[in-house]
Amino acid sequence: MKILGEKSLSSKVIVGLKTLFVAISVLDIVVLTLMMKTINHIVHNESLQSNIFDLNLFGMLILSGIIALLIIYQFIKIFKNIKNNVLFSKDNSNCLNIISNSSLTISVVFCIISILVFFLMCKLEERFIHFVFAFAIILAVVFVAFGIGIKVLNEIYKKAIEYKEENDFII
């Protein structure tokens, strides 16, 4: 199977990424409407403890969803360059840098949310709270590893671009 050009693997990945982009956008809109309802319940002092937890959860989902959209958009740009046979460019390197920084930002968001969940909800003896806390910590660690891995890959990619430019000057 071809990797570069029209009707290639990179073209199919672009379609998949665009579909994922739309799906996450729709989910963000749904979560935003739920967040607005929760704020309305907080304003009317209805079940304050539960609503604050819901607001934190929705905030985490919205913020991580927006950052995920940024990451997907950067991957779409990279795969468009690959499809157009532009492999070693500074644009791809910049996209990788944005992806790594965004991944590290998501990990910080999940750490903050897990701490908030722990301190705001530690009075409740619900097992669900412990699962949310553990899930947020695991996701934070995964995104740190992903961010560091992409950062290392970006440095290797920058060196490859540098070698390519030197090689182009020699020829």
Question: pLDDT tens across 28-84, in order?
Answer: 888 888 877 777 776 677 666 666 667 777 777 888 889 999 999 999 999 988 888
In sequence order, the 6+-apart residues with CB closer than 8 A to the CB of 24 are: 65, 68, 69, 72
Q: What is the pLDDT of residue 128?
A: 67
Listed residue (94, 91, 99, 96) closest to 67, CA to CA: 99
Sign, CA dihedral 41-45-47-52, equals positive
Q: What is the pLDDT of residue 103?
A: 95
- Say which range, 14-23, 67-76, 126-135, has the weakest mean pLDDT: 126-135
Q: Pick the more confident residue, 157 or 5.
A: 157
Total-model pTM: 0.82
Average pLDDT score, the chain:
83
